[in-house]
């Protein structure tokens, strides 16, 4: 079974690029375009990991991370914040809100999938993440 990633991102181009790179590498991708929808889909689909933009309509990334942390069934689901290089202060705040780690925007197509892989739970059948 392939890993399923939920991408919560309101920027169409970023979403397109992340989805393209992940699907090309065998991941299943679910997406949400605002924070509220992101929380709902996280609870509904229980993805392997969640990629979380910070600047989002409805609920921002900080509120989404904090909300996700209140749901025990998502314990152990990595939350990877996608933060802009210019917004260094965001990182401390999003980690404090409950994110497992962060990757930098703009997305680097050469390293993106490997960076995500570092945060995924290791399973024997997922040798490609090792």
Cβ(32)–Cβ(41) below 8 Å = yes
Q: Is 58 in the site for Mn ion (CB under 5 A)?
A: no
CB of 26 to Mn ion, least distance (A): 26
Pick the closest to residue 58 from 43, 37, 42 (CA basis).
37
**Binders of Mn ion among 7-26, rule CB under 5 A?**
10
Cβ(51)–Cβ(5) below 8 Å = yes
| CB-based closest residue to Mn ion | 55
Between 2 and 55, CB nearer to Mn ion: 55
CB of 81 to Mn ion, least distance (A): 11
**Binders of Mn ion among 72-111, rule CB under 5 A?**
none
Between 3 and 37, CB nearer to Mn ion: 37
Q: Choose one: 16-24, 52-60, 67-75, 110-118; the region binding Mn ion (CB under 5 A).
A: 52-60
Among 55, 63, 95, 129, binds Mn ion (CB under 5 A): 55
- Which residues in this chain contact Mn ion in the complex, by CB under 5 A? 10, 53, 55
């Amino acid at each position: 079974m392939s890993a399923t990633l939920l991408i919560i991102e309101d920027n169409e181009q970023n979403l397109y690029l992340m989805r393209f790179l992940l699907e090309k590498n065998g991941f299943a991708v679910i997406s949400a375009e605002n924070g509220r929808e992101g929380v709902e889909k996280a609870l509904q689909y229980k993805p392997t990991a969640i990629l979380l933009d910070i600047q989002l309509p409805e609920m921002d990334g900080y509120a989404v991370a904090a909300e996700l942390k209140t749901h025990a069934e998502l314990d152990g689901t990595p939350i990877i914040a996608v933060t802009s290089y210019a917004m260094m202060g965001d990182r401390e705040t999003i980690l404090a809100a409950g994110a497992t780690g962060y990757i930098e925007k703009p997305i680097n197509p050469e390293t993106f999938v490997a960076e995500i892989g570092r945060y995924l739970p290791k399973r024997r059948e997922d040798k490609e993440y090792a």
